[in-house]
Amino acid sequence: MSTVAVTDAVKKYDAVAALDGVTMTFRDGEFFGLLGPSGSGKTTLLRAIAGFVTLDRGQVLIDGQDVGGVPVHARNIGMVFQNYALFPHMSVAENVAFGLEVRGRPREDVAQSVKDALAMVRLGGLEQRKPKQLSGGQQQRVALARALVTRPKVLLLDEPLGALDKHLRQEMQVELRRIQRQVGITTIFVTHDQEEALTLSDRIAIFDSGRIIQEGAPMAVYERPVTRFAAGFLGEANFLPGRVTAMETGGLARVALDIGGEALCGLSSGQVGQTVLLALRPEKITLAADGRAGVNAVRGKVLDVVFSGNSTTYRIAVGEQVMVLFRQNLAQGTVAPGTDVVLSWSPDHLVQVTP
């Protein structure tokens, strides 16, 4: 159906750059998540694609065509807003019909399309209700039906599930994904919820200060973050500073860790004597009550323990640092605070990040 590309997009508000040179391509039919803290530029990019924001520099291309001079109403996009922005004075059916009516479609076509769209979001039978009479989840579905009924080239979602409670949010995630696959529309969505981004997206991009820090498939970005920010924003991570002491054959490096002990791992760049920063996900660490400290194994003391049903979070003092680890509750019982333990991990799970 459609591709969207952004080239060297710059947008400044006063002196602050909301977009500071963003270039990216959204592939045909993919579900793309823009992730970042508030003020990182992700919403500005979405609004620039919609046409609400005029770029200071750079281009937005839809199917290869520069849409810089095209007003919002002529861009043929569908958008779902954070609070849905349903028309309060119109019924569900009138809301969905709006986009078709302003295009001057014949009455019978409109009626049929509205019926199909409402069936797709499983809202048949609620045509005559007003938005106020619907639950949050139902309003969300109306907004989605309204955005898709005109068969737009691109679907833009601005924090689409932010206003729903947790249970409903998970249900709508599945629903959103089902509908997006069914329609096959190129979809770009903005979220600050990392779990949502990981669940829904084919690819994600992490934004910070108007720039893209990293983009790729969710698993690739999660497992191989390139910066400290990316590792910390998408999931949790322990950051271990150290110094390279030797390069082994096979591309592995020996790193003397600041917390004490030694790590053996692959590095993307580095040479003997250089300081490096290594990221280690909490769930990749193995906790043992005894054992030997050594390569990729350090000794520590349990500080506190948080049991949360399916997993337990431990905070462990290692040298001068506090490390966090998650352990699935495969066996009953937890390790008590004050216990001396040994933490170990596989070399694959240490990822060099730029500070």
Residue 141 touches other proteins, criterion: CB under 8 A: no
Residue 205 identity (one-letter amino acid): A
Nearest distance, CB of residue 204 and other proteins, angstroms: 23
DSSP line for 57-81: EEEEEETTEE-TTS-GGGS-EEEE-
The residue from 1, 16, 74, 119 that contacts other proteins (CB under 8 A) is 74
Residue 303 touches other proteins, criterion: CB under 8 A: no
Q: Which CB atom, from 73 or from 181, has the smaller least distance to other proteins?
A: 73
Q: Are 301 and 260 in contact (CB under 8 A)?
A: no
The residue from 34, 79, 121, 179 that contacts other proteins (CB under 8 A) is 79
Tell me how far apart the alpha carbons of residues 296 and 248 are, in angstroms, rounded to a whole number: 15
- Provide the 8-state DSSP code for 84: -
Residue 138 touches other proteins, criterion: CB under 8 A: no
- Provide the 8-state DSSP code for 167: H
Residue 146 touches other proteins, criterion: CB under 8 A: yes
Q: Which CB atom, from 87 or from 307, has the smaller least distance to other proteins?
A: 87
Residue 160 touches other proteins, criterion: CB under 8 A: no
Residue 235 touches other proteins, criterion: CB under 8 A: no
- Over the window 21 to 50, marking each residue x when it contacts other proteins by CB under 8 A and - when it does not, the resulting string is -----------------------------x
Tell me how far apart the alpha carbons of residues 227 and 161 are, in angstroms, rounded to a whole number: 28
Tell me how far apart the alpha carbons of residues 42 and 10 are, in angstroms, rounded to a whole number: 12
Residue 301 touches other proteins, criterion: CB under 8 A: no
Nearest distance, CB of residue 159 and other proteins, angstroms: 12
Q: Which CB atom, from 162 or from 232, has the smaller least distance to other proteins?
A: 162
Nearest distance, CB of residue 188 and other proteins, angstroms: 13
Nearest distance, CB of residue 79 and other proteins, angstroms: 4
Q: What are the start-end ranges of the H helices in 35-154? A: 42-50, 92-101, 107-120, 136-148
Nearest to 121 by CA among 159, 90, 160: 160
Residue 64 touches other proteins, criterion: CB under 8 A: no
Tell me how far apart the alpha carbons of residues 205 and 216 are, in angstroms, rounded to a whole number: 7
239: tokens are: 């950051």
Tell me how far apart the alpha carbons of residues 351 and 335 are, in angstroms, rounded to a whole number: 27
User: Which residues of the shown chain bind other proteins in the complex (CB under 8 A)?
Assistant: 50-52, 71-79, 81-83, 85-89, 98-99, 102-103, 132, 146-147, 150, 156
